Structure 1
Amino acid sequence: MLQTYYDQPLKNPLPPFEARLLRGAVNLTRKDGGTPFDAATRFYAGYAETAVGQGRSLDDIGFPGVLGRMWSLRGEMKFYDEHVAALKTVSAAAQARDTAKPAPELARVHGTRALCSTAPRDGIEQPIGGKMFQTFKLAVAISLVALASGLTAAPQKRGTARRPVPARAATAAPRPFDPKAYAASVEGVDCTNVAARARSVVPIDKALHGIASAYPWGPPTKGEFESTSAFDQRVHDELSAKLGGTDRIVAVIPIRDMMKYDADTSTLTINPVDKRIKENVITVKAYSDIDGESTYVGSNAYGASTEVSRHTFTQFYMLLPARGQTAITSTMAPDAARSLKENGSLVLVGSLLSPYIAYERQRGRPTISDPNDVTYLQFYLGMIAQCAVIVNQGQEVGRIAL
């Protein structure tokens, strides 16, 4: 669990301090009737608190985005809200330390202070050449389950096949997202004028980046005393504000990856659906990028070490209900098909729809022969599409009745 969900490829056997921390997390979770996921999260909270106390960067222990990963597991935890509060307090303490401000007291209510009451005698990770020396062994995750015997077993994720590291094209640094510029660009755009207006709309990737960066802890969560309707309205209002005061979505998405052309039969097929979540819920990929590139020195159980490249591959999707066809097929001359592939777009016109935000996360583990540590993040923005229009150089080519 620690390896898969919290980016913690810890050493095996654990150093004495980490072992004490793990036993404390497990014993506390046994006492209050939590799950193994609660135990793993409590261990991680204590681990992060110790890193802050040692003056280390939380980036070294995979802290960025940890609450987004936790959110995907919230159904497996009994004390999810307490974990979120504890980790936010740890983050605030790190920020206060880095800006030389008085740090808030770390999360006593969560129990991490009790878990860390003994000063560590061994470093959590051994720095080598300025990088973090980490080992990759599944036995740590198995050890947690063994120590947590007696807890209610939670379902485990199945492993996924290794995916290649995506190539990254050289691009200039993107300009910050301007919500007011986006709102102005989509004002008045509808299904009758979208072909003429598509070129002037602020690209949806900028809007998605802006929204995702505004929720680094993962999707908003409903309060204990907040009704579902009030929660939906609150999130709707937050997102509208982040889009410049509008809930209007106009997503102009390049069509090249959605279309296939058979030159022998002059047949063009366009299918924008990336995957189908349910029978009537689909995703359309809007944008993808690689960021967060860095390196560190990793080692396996046999002592072999190598420099590992760490990448974060982020994919942004529109999440929407499917009410009709999801693909079209037609005949088209080769030159026209080539122009469409090079210049065409699928334009989704609609508005925000609950559930507004969702995250998914997968990770490919590095090996000596393939030293790439790749994290795949999927960010979803919910919308309802009033129309899906295929546009090429200001002209409407066709429509898909999504």
Structure 2
Amino acid sequence: MLPAPVSTIAPSTATGRPIRWGVVATGSIAARVVQDLALLDDAVLHAVSSRSEASARAFALRFGFTTSYWDAAGAAGYDRLLADPAVDVVYIATPHTQHHAVALAALHAGKNVLCEKPITMDAEQASELADLARERGLFLMEAVWTRFLPSFRRALQIVRSGEIGTVRWLQADLCFTAPVDPASRLWDPAAGGGALLDLAVYPLTWALGALGEPGAVAARGTLTPEGVDLQNALTLTYDDGAHAQLTTSIGAESPSVVTISGTEGWLRSSTPLFNPGELVVQPRRGTLRTERFEVFGSGFVYELREVTRCLQAGLTESPFMTTAESVRMMEVLDEARRQIGLRYPSDADLAAGVPA
């Protein structure tokens, strides 16, 4: 994983021609991301789609979109949005289980795509999207916003500088107690619920950034009566003997921090690890220090700037969040699911897995 470059220029500052955005879905994550999208000087909020006319119109009015689409006359709202020639790039904020179908339709329609995490439900689907984007010369990126935050970029810079020596161990947790609600997507197998697909991408992002791809994955988890995972623990092992221990849960509270331990010191994030405002660094032969970071907007603006920059430069993927990395992350999650017995109605055959 390459760390995104550090810039002294505000991420809202235009980097080229205006980019016209279409947004699929009007839920809470879409609203949070679009709030930051509106901060970009070269972003045009062109179109939004929803299943319902009321939601589409309300969202468009709230954020100032030019037009809105909804399910009508046998056509899905997103199909109507994808047929709009004015849309340059589509941001997909649907539930997990819809990511693959909507992204596939967008790429077939000739649209560039930014898709919420996890990019798909499994690695096979992710590979299909990556191959199609490559064949059609279109941009595709998974919306792992943490990768582009100043604090995460700085953490990788410290790791790569050698200040804390060779990384031998990493621990990361992301846990919270979610009210049990069978109607909520977190508890619904049909919506890809559970802790793993919703939360594990963040601890994994830190592990892959600091240590790279693991040689093996071992996973344990607890399933709910509804059939989703309440919590899970992943151990990643590396050929050089390094380890990463990652825990996610929707049934318990935790500090939600990451600790990176090296032969010459350690680094720890503040909470939450997906958007830390501080890093504590303790070199073995130095003084403990705290580095603090100001975040522009809510923090999504950094990944949105990267998408915009790539489109303006004619790139089909970000060098700092490649489709190959998204596929590999899904392979790790597939293997974890196989080991803990977590299956969804939408699953293809996960029996083969990857070496454990």
Tell me the TM-score normalised to structure 1 length: 0.23
Higher strand share: 1
Q: Answer with 1 or 2: which has the greater Rg.
A: 1
Which structure has more RCO (C-alpha within 8 Å, separation ≥ 6)?
2
